[in-house]
Amino acid sequence: LLREQLTDVFVSYDIGCQWRINLLGKRLGDVPEELVYAEDDRPDINVALPVFHSACHEESCGSAETCRHKLGVGMTDGEGVERVWAAFNELASATKEMHQDVRRDALEDAIDWHNWLKNLTLGIHSRRKREVALVELKRQEENFALTGETISIEDKQEWVDMMDRWHEQEHLPLKSRTAKNPYSLAEQRAENITEARVAASLLSAEKDDLADGDDSLTGTANFVRMGLQLQKIQLRIHELKASHVAERGETRVKIQDLRIRFLRKLRDYRVLQATYMKPMMSVIMQEERARQAAVDAEQIKIYLPSDLSEKQRHGMEAAIKAELAFRRAYVTNALHGVRRLVHTKSHFIRFRHKNWRGQRKYTSSQRTLKDLDESIINLRQRYEISRLAIVALDQSAENEFREMRREDVSTRWVTDYDGAAARRLAVIGQSGQHRTPATQPVATPAAPPRPLPAPPPSGMPAASPEEQALYNSWANDDEMEGAEKRGGSRREMSWIWTAMAVPTTDQDNFMRESIRIEWCKAYARRARWTEEVVLLEEEERRIVQSLCWYEAGWRARAHAWHGLTAVNRGKRAYARRQADIYRRIHDNFTLRFTSEDELGTTGKKRKAPATDTVDGCDATPLSTT
């Protein structure tokens, strides 16, 4: 960098978090005097971890030093220096028996050819990258606006100020910073999420769910509540029948007990229906008489106000109002429960990957993860049942609660991953086998799961092939997407974390901090994609300007040689040929960069550019050397 007029330098290094500690300290004393910058002339140097390598560092370090959280970097992942080895690996065996001088010439020729091809394809690759970036930027902006609707302006301003303070100190080593990391929660320790705690939490939730509470049968509200309790018993029966322990004897006994309990409560509920749903009693009694005794309890229709048509509900305003109130409470509770379970699952996965090895541990964790998955599915179904009931009772409430889809409850909200857009950006212009998952093309659903993402901690034995096969055999899609795809580039913050507004510190400090972290990461993703578009547009401008500079330089050389006539003609012809090559490349790239319909958003070429030249170069040579 000596004598380069730079004000800012960005460096990516696999262990940059450690390397930067003494970079501008005692290491400067080891630099030869002729290479030392004057302090006033020294550029600002920022060091970051490549995206894929940051996943192998501690969470506090990885979130602080990853390229994804550095200002001005765009979607640069810092792994570019690694990708060339994929193309050069085959040269090792092809040249290993050559004489040393011949081998160097062969490698130099191959590298020159690789670089020339890369330069020739800059036009198509830059255009493709820009189109990918523009599409993804629009998607990130829409998602960011949607997830921020329920966050107060005060909270947003507080979190933006926190990010500003953090980035002002990001040139310092991590331990020297006084600002709080907006992308990490220091108190959030995965080691505290143990298997025993998860099992106890699930058992406690099940007991609370089956508690009857006050069984008073007076009033419309209690009548509706009794019907909802009956529906809850039916849902629990369905959940037990669909669980992975459905065939166990104790589960079957529990199902039968719930069925008996349901039928006993149903008799009392039918009596109350004669009072509070009198217009519907003829229909209800007709169905009761037609129902066969062998029908299971979970298949019996309860007849809540939300089960009726608008015409049938006429005159039941009190019951409708009561059910709406209960349903809204159920939706809110289900939403909070889903948040808690997804958060627990995500950190349990992290804890397991970091600390556990061996078939016994993985089999045990598989059972726990299945329990967590089933609980998340059950709560999501309960949320949807109550949401649809609210819509049936009040059409104006259709936009009050959003549909909770499977992807909304994925663990990916907590753990970073490399999105399809970032991978597409990384592999544009690449060929052959790549070394890291960040450079692989987008996997199809049929693709095999990836291996464990990082080597085990020191002092811990590596996983055997049998253990790895066991892990791959049962790791589900959600887990793989949540725990092993890194980079946080195309990730969207799920709406479930900001629905119902952000909790205050007194209400739930841990959840508030989690939402703050995810909002800050969503803010950073939008900023990185915005920077990527700006960088790509500037790169295109500089590519065109550089080609003009090369053309002007070769044209100047054509007139700079004075010597033998025969040699002079040959040198001029060669220089003019080179100038013509750069002119044609310039014209081709200019058309690609300015064409409106040459490429689609998928990056596939649609139409070849025209062959007409475009005049736009300054013929004044910048250099004659």
- Reported pTM: 0.57
In a domain, 532, yes or no: no
**What was the pLDDT predicted at 502?**
54
Banded model confidence at residue 619, pLDDT cuts 50, 70, 90: very low
Q: DSSP assignment of 365-391, as one string?
A: HHHHHHHHHHHHHHHHHHHHHHHHHHH
Query: pLDDT digit string (tens) for 589-605?
Result: 999 998 865 454 444 44
Find, among 400, 378, 376, the residue nearest to 388 by Cα.
400
In a domain, 220, yes or no: yes
**What was the pLDDT predicted at 292?**
64
Better-predicted residue by pLDDT, 477 or 389: 389
Phi, psi of 70, rounded to the nearest 5 degrees: -110, 135
Contact between 183 and 527 (Cβ < 8 Å): no
- What are the CA-CA distances from residue 146 to residues 60, 492, 522 (Å)? 28, 10, 11
**What was the pLDDT predicted at 127?**
92
Residue 53: CB atoms within 10 A of its CB come to 26
**What was the pLDDT predicted at 615?**
46
> Which residue is listed with tokens 């390397």?
19
Banded model confidence at residue 161, pLDDT cuts 50, 70, 90: very high
Determine if residue 273 is left, alpha or beta; phi over 0 gives left, psi from -120 to 50 gives alpha, anything else beta. Answer: alpha
**What was the pLDDT predicted at 81?**
80
Residue 547 confidence (pLDDT) above 90: yes
Please tell me the distance from the alpha carbon of residue 480 to that of residue 243, in angstroms, as a whole number.
Answer: 22
What average pLDDT does this structure show over 191-197? 43
Exposed e or buried b per residue across 59-87, where buried means at least 16 C-beta atoms within 10 angstroms of its C-beta: bebbbbbbbbbbeebbbbbbbeebbeebb
Banded model confidence at residue 209, pLDDT cuts 50, 70, 90: low
Residue 174 confidence (pLDDT) above 50: yes
Tokens of 389: 């009931």
Please tell me the distance from the alpha carbon of residue 297 to that of residue 401, in angstroms, as a whole number.
Answer: 30
Residue 175 confidence (pLDDT) above 70: yes
Residue 432 confidence (pLDDT) above 80: no
H helical segments located in 20-58: 51-54
In a domain, 533, yes or no: no
Query: pLDDT digit string (tens) for 565-586?
Result: 778 888 889 999 999 999 999 9
Residue 153 confidence (pLDDT) above 80: yes
**What was the pLDDT predicted at 575?**
93
Residue 199 confidence (pLDDT) above 70: no
Residue 281 confidence (pLDDT) above 90: no
Most confident of 185-199, 388-402, 537-551, 584-598: 537-551
Lowest mean pLDDT among 11-25, 356-370, 581-595: 356-370
SS3 409: helix
The answer for residues whose C-beta is within 8 angstroms of residue 179's C-beta and 6 or more apart is 162, 165, 166, 168, 169
Better-predicted residue by pLDDT, 560 or 264: 264
Better-predicted residue by pLDDT, 432 or 442: 432
In a domain, 582, yes or no: no
Query: pLDDT digit string (tens) for 454-498?
Result: 333 333 334 444 434 433 433 333 333 333 344 444 455 566 655
Residue 111 confidence (pLDDT) above 70: yes
The burial of 289, by beta-carbon neighbours within 10 Å (0-12 exposed, 13-18 middle, 19 or more buried), is given as exposed
In a domain, 240, yes or no: yes
**What was the pLDDT predicted at 165?**
92
Query: pLDDT digit string (tens) for 115-142?
Result: 999 899 999 999 999 998 998 898 888 8
In a domain, 207, yes or no: no
What average pLDDT does this structure show over 398-414? 70
Q: How many residues does the chain have?
A: 625
Helices (H) and strands (E) in the chain, counts: 18, 2
**What was the pLDDT predicted at 495?**
61
Residue 329 confidence (pLDDT) above 70: yes
Residue 296: CB atoms within 10 A of its CB come to 12
Banded model confidence at residue 536, pLDDT cuts 50, 70, 90: very high
**What was the pLDDT predicted at 437?**
36
The burial of 417, by beta-carbon neighbours within 10 Å (0-12 exposed, 13-18 middle, 19 or more buried), is given as buried
Contact between 403 and 387 (Cβ < 8 Å): yes
- Give percent above pLDDT 70 in the chain: 70
In a domain, 261, yes or no: yes
For the chain, first and last CA: distance in Å? 21
**What was the pLDDT predicted at 335?**
80
Amino acid in position 342: V
Q: What is the largest CA-CA distance in the chain?
A: 116
**What was the pLDDT predicted at 150?**
67
Better-predicted residue by pLDDT, 242 or 59: 242
Contact between 386 and 334 (Cβ < 8 Å): yes
Sign of CA dihedral 424, 426, 429, 432: negative
**What was the pLDDT predicted at 549?**
95
**What was the pLDDT predicted at 493?**
56
What average pLDDT does this structure show over 178-186? 81
Better-predicted residue by pLDDT, 291 or 387: 387
Work out the angle at residue 179's Cα, subtended by the Cα atoms of residues 176 and 182, and round it to the nearest 5 degrees.
120
Better-predicted residue by pLDDT, 475 or 35: 35
Look over the chain and give the mean of its residue pLDDT values, rounded to a whole number.
74
Lowest mean pLDDT among 4-18, 96-110, 281-295: 281-295
In a domain, 252, yes or no: yes
Better-predicted residue by pLDDT, 39 or 584: 584
Q: DSSP assignment of 555-624, as one string?
A: HHHHTT--S-HHHHHHHHHHHHHHHHHHHHHHHHHHHHHH-SSSB-TT--B-SPPP---------S-S--
Contact between 418 and 437 (Cβ < 8 Å): yes
Q: How many domains does the chain have?
A: 1
The burial of 447, by beta-carbon neighbours within 10 Å (0-12 exposed, 13-18 middle, 19 or more buried), is given as exposed
Residue 625 confidence (pLDDT) above 50: no
DSSP label at 8? E
Residue 425 confidence (pLDDT) above 90: no
Exposed e or buried b per residue across 254-283, where buried means at least 16 C-beta atoms within 10 angstroms of its C-beta: bbeebbebbeebbeebbebbeebbeebeee
Banded model confidence at residue 164, pLDDT cuts 50, 70, 90: very high
Determine the structural domain holding residue 292 and report its residue range. 215-315
Better-predicted residue by pLDDT, 24 or 157: 157
Q: DSSP assignment of 266-284, as one string?
A: HHHHHHHHHHHSGGGHHHH
Residue 343 confidence (pLDDT) above 70: yes
Better-predicted residue by pLDDT, 9 or 339: 9
**What was the pLDDT predicted at 395?**
81
**What was the pLDDT predicted at 211?**
60
**What was the pLDDT predicted at 434?**
40
Cα 124 to the chain's mean position, in Å?
A: 27
Q: Are strands 8-12 and 44-48 parallel, antiparallel or unpaired?
A: parallel
